[in-house]
């Protein structure tokens, strides 16, 4: 039987850079594998989080979606073996 993919959503609205990345990194480190959805309302985080996740090899950016106003959703794939 195929194992369901873990999907975790974290709402980081109200936080700014670089703390949004600190929280994203901590959540990714805690996950063995799966999908992390990060919601931010600080527009620079929508650019900075994906860039830092890639730079630190924490996961793969699936998408960055503009929801409304200043709110963005970043979807990150954490794979087995990634630190």
Partner 1 sequence: MGGQLPFNFTMEQLQRYSRQIILPNVGAKRQRKLLDSNVLIIGAGGLGCPAAYYLVAAGVGEVGIVDMDTVDISNLHRQILHFTNDVGKPKTISATEKLEALNPDVVITPFQERITKKNVCQIIDKFDFILEGSDNFATKFLINDACVSLGKPFTIAGVLRFEGQMMTVVPGNSNCYRCVFPEPPPLGTVPSCQEAGVFGAVTGLFGSLQASEAIKYLLGIGELLTGRMIIFDILSMSMTIAHTGKNRNCKACGDSPIDLLNSYDYESYDVCELPNG
Residue 18 in contact with partner 1, rule: CB under 8 A: yes
Smallest separation (angstroms) from partner 1 to the CB of 69: 18
d(CA 38, CA 40): 6
| 11 or 65: CB nearest partner 1 | 11
Residue 10 in contact with partner 1, rule: CB under 8 A: yes
Q: Which of 16, 19, 32, 47 binds partner 1 (CB under 8 A)?
A: 19
Asked if 17 is an active-site residue, the reply is yes
Tokens, residue 29: 């480190």
Distance of CA 11 to the CA centre of its chain: 10
Name 82's Cβ contacts closer than 8 Å, sequence gap at least 6. 57, 58, 59
Residue 83 in contact with partner 1, rule: CB under 8 A: yes
| Helix spans in 1-83 (H) | 19-30, 43-55
Which sequence positions are flagged as catalytic? 17
- Which chain residues interact with partner 1 by CB under 8 A? 10-15, 18-19, 21-23, 25-27, 29-30, 55-56, 83
């Amino acid at each position: 039987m195929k194992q369901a993919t873990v999907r975790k959503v974290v709402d980081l609205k109200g936080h700014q850079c670089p703390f949004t990345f600190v929280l994203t990194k901590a959540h990714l480190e805690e996950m063995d594998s799966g999908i992390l959805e990060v919601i931010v309302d600080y527009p620079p985080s929508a650019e900075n989080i994906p860039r830092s996740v890639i730079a630190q090899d924490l996961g793969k950016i699936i998408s960055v979606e503009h929801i409304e106003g200043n709110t963005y959703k970043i979807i990150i794939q954490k794979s087995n073996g990634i630190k």
